[in-house]
Structure 1
Amino acid sequence: MNIAQALGLFLSLYRSTEGEGSTVVFPGSDLAWNALHTDTSQDILARFHIYASMMPEATSGRAFNVVDGPATTWREVWPELCAYFGLRGVGPTASGEISSAQVWMEGHRADWAKWTSANKLKEGALEGTSWKFMQDVIGIPFRRDYDASASRSIGFEEMRAHAQGYYLAFDEMRRAKIIP
């Protein structure tokens, strides 16, 4: 359950189609834009699993939340994610009309093969990505931040600045030729 690949593909294709420096409206409501949430990047989750495996007596039978850092909002993260791709991320429209990354991606389906070929990217990534899932996660209009006190109580203190986990995923996607 990860939206990093979908976001990376969306923002990469958006930049290629609309141009560097283009404005990308947040694809969600004002409530989603301002709702607190915590991100958990794949690398910090993997590092926790390794850490926890070294202390079975402290972790056996317990549940843990693992987070990149303090709760954040899309208001803070969206502009940073867009900037990574040379775009300008802005909040929801003043009219309240919700922009949809899913609709935008599906509307550009005819461009996918040409874009993949022109950038010498791995085939099938766009077709294998759930745009609905990405749109649904971005659009969550309520608070969903997690309490990481259990993982902190056993000494796992690693954190990432908000958006850093996405940057790491995007860097890996570039190395794997999923995005240009």
Structure 2
Amino acid sequence: MGKLLVVGATGLLGRAAIKYFRAKKGWICSGLSRRPHKFRNVEYLAADLLDNPSIEKHHSKLRDVTHILYSALYEMDDLLSGWRHNEQIKTNTKMFENLMNIVSLYSPNLRHISLLQGTKAYGIHVEAMKAPAKEKWPRHNHENFYWNQEDILKRICNAKNWSFNIWRPQVVLGTATGSPMNLVAAIAAYATICKETDLTFYQPLGAPVVTEATDANLFAKALEWAFNEPKAKNQTFNITNGDVLIWHHLWPEICEFFKIPLGPKRNRTLSTTLPKLEKEWSFITNKYGIKQLNLKELVGGSWQFLDRALRDAGPSPSPSIVSTIKIRKAGFSGCIDTSDSLKNCFKEMRREKLIP
């Protein structure tokens, strides 16, 4: 119990954590981000993590923070090439370092910091990933801001006697707007446009790629568990739904949900075609009275991420599977069917009037 500061409050996992913990008795939530998080009765701290004064001005509101979830992320406009770009590494490192320096001065009640990583820790963006990937493996030999942030985290937690966790989710399924890696929003917008126009909802081409997903709400439950479980102290955990994610197999279910015909298998580059349909999307938002967000505001840079997820990866693509044995042995048994998770996200987007 305590006060949770969610840094990166408008992202997929940040939003899920706020929604989860604000409903928990004994917890107070604050959200720090550049964009307003728009949660009722949740304190909003407007800050740019590259601008120390914008963080430091909230020093009085940082004093009673007991737990931090750091889910902030900087991505370049060219998402995929940015994953190995020095600018991305330097920027994400500096953002985290700035926050750590300030909370070390102004948060005397802080007890725990949770830091997000992901499967890029296993080099999935560099080469075919060995499966199942395990937390105990040595660092994959490539430049990554994960390692810089992790070193800062461990150094400061050791000095301050704070506990920490490092989390490695797979493909995150949740609801947010303007995120760079939000497959739910990208698929929902694509399906909606297909339903309202003559665009075809093509199936992915090539052999099925076997990967995993992480439900954002499941992650929030794991976070609460780790806050209270001694076996979780200072550990790195993979966290997934417990089954597999194969977009080829989910495509018919997505069609059924949105009541659109299943198109033929074909490669497509949605990141070049869909952003051009702002006029069509504006017509849809006006027709159904949903939130007046343009496609860029809704989907962010996620078209590139969707292109990667649906790519033709060749005749025998390597599976992207991580082991969750460690977290299960430590006592967390949460799971959810990935198909249900995806549909729940679509339903939540409808409740929030993001799609018709």
Q: Could you state the TM-score of these two structures normalised by the residue count of structure 2?
A: 0.44
Asked if residue 156 in structure 1 is aligned to residue 329 in structure 2, the reply is: no
How big is each residue's C-alpha offset from its partner over 1:19-43, in whole Å with a ceiling of 9 and x where there is no partner?
A: xxx96212x4414xx1110011211
Specify the SS of the correspondent of 1:151.
helix
2:349 aligned to which of 170, 173, 178: 173
Instruction: Considering fraction of residues, name the structure with more helix.
Output: 1
2:245 aligned to which of 72, 76, 87: 72
Are the aligned partners of 1:77 and 1:162 in contact in 2 as well (CA < 8 Å)?
no
Q: Which moved more, 1:131-140 or 1:119-128?
A: 131-140
AA in 1 matched with 2:258: F
Structure 2: how far apart are the matches of 1:155 and 1:91? 44
Structure 2: how far apart are the matches of 1:120 and 1:154? 47
Instruction: Considering fraction of residues, name the structure with more strand.
Output: 2
Match of 1:114 in 2: 283
Structure 1: how far apart are the matches of 2:310 and 2:336? 20
| Cα shift at 1:90 | 5.2
Are the aligned partners of 1:65 and 1:147 in contact in 2 as well (CA < 8 Å)?
yes
Structure 2: how far apart are the matches of 1:53 and 1:125? 38
Asked if residue 13 in structure 1 is aligned to residue 193 in structure 2, the reply is: yes
| Greater C-alpha Rg | 2
Structure 1 portions without partners, runs of 5+: none
Question: Residues 70, 132 of structure 1: CA spacing in aligned structure 2 closer, same or farther, 3 A cutoff?
Answer: same
Asked if residue 135 in structure 1 is aligned to residue 307 in structure 2, the reply is: yes
How big is each residue's C-alpha offset from its partner over 1:74-110, in whole Å with a ceiling of 9 and x where there is no partner?
A: 22222212221112445624xxxx1233344134232
Are the aligned partners of 1:23 and 1:87 in contact in 2 as well (CA < 8 Å)?
no
Structure 2 portions without partners, runs of 5+: 1-180
2:323 aligned to which of 140, 147, 154: 147
Question: Residues 103, 49 of structure 1: CA spacing in aligned structure 2 closer, same or farther, 3 A cutoff?
Answer: same
**Deviation >4 Å, runs of 4+:** none
Q: What is the count of residue pairs matched by the alignment?
A: 169
Are the aligned partners of 2:281 and 2:294 in contact in 1 as well (CA < 8 Å)?
no
| Cα shift at 1:138 | 3.0
Structure 1: how far apart are the matches of 2:261 and 2:220? 31
Structure 2: how far apart are the matches of 1:150 and 1:175? 36
Match of 2:215 in 1: 41
Q: Which moved more, 1:107-116 or 1:40-49?
A: 107-116
Q: Which moved more, 1:137-146 or 1:110-119?
A: 137-146
Structure 2: how far apart are the matches of 1:136 and 1:35? 11
Asked if residue 62 in structure 1 is aligned to residue 223 in structure 2, the reply is: no
Structure 2: how far apart are the matches of 1:67 and 1:91? 30
Specify the SS of the correspondent of 1:24.
coil
Structure 2: how far apart are the matches of 1:99 and 1:125? 22
Structure 1: how far apart are the matches of 2:255 and 2:240? 22
Structure 2: how far apart are the matches of 1:12 and 1:2? 16
